[in-house]
Structure 1
């Protein structure tokens, strides 16, 4: 029974996304724990620029769940998917320099993020928590 639950859980991640982790976490916090269809609607209309890469990762996780369900010959309904985990880790920082007054140089940090989203059917998420 636990093998079926693990088959249906799907993950997607995007690495080295040129969005600061702090800004990406604001967007990811909006969708954590929601139904996947509701989260897609929220991200489509969110004004933050970080919502676009998060939306792409979410759609990829949904597609991965569909592929896993097809491979296991199981019924698949996108409306049953729930975001079980979503998090943003800090990626490498690109360091750039800008000329400043009196021959000095000012450092500019261009931060990157690693965005990860896990989706699973509602039933398996409830069975794991109880």
Structure 2
């Protein structure tokens, strides 16, 4: 009887220790997995920044007349606002821009990002926006 009782207690302790060890191993594996995921994300971000920087560099090296054209087009309304005869036309133009479809603005933004080499800046802004959205 005493032997049976000792065997049950010893078996119970063995089972308890095995469960505890399995839990500890599971927690350790979870930590290793999270560290690997974090490292992979960091590598992906670094690689993406490198690729965006290379594309920006190619864009900047190939600058041509379109850069000057876009700069003139962007600053012309600002300059015309200070000329009394043209300020009214600028105001009417901006009123008309309220009716432009949203997809056009996205397309225009892509043209500016490509022309002026803002890929890295856009990537950073998008990551921050996504992170803010993920927290909410």
TM-score of the superposed pair, with normalisation by structure 1 = 0.23
TM-score of the superposed pair, with normalisation by structure 2 = 0.22
* Greater strand share, structure number: 1
* Greater helix share, structure number: 2
The structure with higher relative contact order (CA 8 Å, sep 6+) is 1
